[in-house]
Amino acid sequence: MGIMVNDLVKYIVFIRQNQIDMLFKRDFFTFLQTSGLVIGIFVLFPGLIFAQQNIQLNNIEQVIEITQKAYGPDDLLKNGRIFIPGHPGAVGNPYFQDYNRTIGTIIIKGKVFDHTDFLYDVEIDRVIVQFKEKEKGSIAILLNQDFVDAFYIGEQHFINLNQLHLQNNETGYAELIYNSGLTFIIRHKKTFLNQYSQSNQFGKYSKPVSVKYIQSGGQLVKLPDRKSFLDYFEPFRNQIKNYFRINHIRYRSASTNQLYQLLKFCDELSED
């Protein structure tokens, strides 16, 4: 069994390089089925047809050769790789604030890209950019983590942790709340849960978890609740408790602006 060349080269670029071994072990259609991608491919490429001639489905070397001849080397892959969601049929999604699409700003190696279509996947802690090309259609690229300096989603500012020069070389991104005399961040996370039922046959994603940290030298100190926050600023406990009361702040659910003003207050106390 084979597929038409023109249709094949349009969607083969979506295959992750680390899945090539799977393609050698079984035919292409079975691979797509087990990856949960069959429905998406027929929606994206309604012209896809199967035939008894042309290319053999299990001949991946021929598939790659034809794709490269048709498209040539893709410059977009120099700073990342093609992305396919790991659990496309799962209940929920792995993206920050459940955004299925974000138009924001990304800074890559010092260069600013405004009005960029991207996603922040907090399960794998990576940024995924959507490229639209005239002949290839839409391509999702998983950006090289080391290349992304920062990005903005609305008013929220995220930085690459390598900017903090941590001693344990911790990687990933974090929302930057305050960065003056003190550096305060929030790390966001979702986890895929291997929990299956009639209503979620492909598993589901956990609720988002956000954990607050303050930088102390080359270390990140976790401050998950009000008590730990007050303990960290023990010499100013009474003043900070009073600030919480006057400004009606609930630490766990405080907004970005509330946290910024709180850290600014603590920073000024520390300077006195």
pLDDT digits (tens, 9 = 90+) for 212-267: 999 998 999 999 999 999 999 999 999 999 999 999 999 999 999 999 999 999 99
28 in a domain, yes or no? Answer: yes
For 19, counting Cβ atoms within 10 Å of its Cβ (0-12 exposed, 13-18 middle, 19+ buried), the class is exposed
Range in 46-60, 73-87, 137-151 the model is least confident about: 46-60
132 in a domain, yes or no? Answer: no
Quote the domain boundaries for residue 64: 2-73
Q: Provide the mean pLDDT of the chain.
A: 77
Which residues lie across from 153 on neighbouring strands?
A: 156
pLDDT of residue 115: 87
On whether both 151 and 267 belong to a single domain, the answer is yes
On whether both 259 and 160 belong to a single domain, the answer is yes
Among 34, 52, 73, which residue terminates a domain?
73
pLDDT of residue 103: 85
112 in a domain, yes or no? Answer: no
pLDDT of residue 188: 97
Among 25, 47, 73, which residue terminates a domain?
73
Whole-model pTM: value is 0.70
On whether both 153 and 260 belong to a single domain, the answer is yes
On whether both 158 and 246 belong to a single domain, the answer is yes
Query: Dihedrals φ, ψ of 160, to 5°?
Result: -80, 130
Residue pair 205/124 in contact by the 8 Å Cβ criterion: no
216 in a domain, yes or no? Answer: yes
Mean pLDDT of 100-110: 84
- For 6-33, the pLDDT digits (tens) are 444 444 444 433 333 333 333 333 333 4
Using a pLDDT cut of 90, give the percent of the chain over it: 47
Mean pLDDT of 131-139: 70
Instruction: Give how many domains the chain has, as a whole number.
Output: 2
pLDDT over 60 at 43, yes or no: no
Instruction: Please list, residue by residue across 22-44, b when 16 or more beta carbons sit within 10 angstroms of its beta carbon and e when fewer do.
Output: bbeeeebeebbeebbbeebbeee
Residue pair 265/243 in contact by the 8 Å Cβ criterion: yes
- For 155-181, the pLDDT digits (tens) are 899 999 999 999 888 899 999 999 998
User: Which pLDDT band, with edges at 50, 70 and 90, does 84 fall under?
Assistant: confident
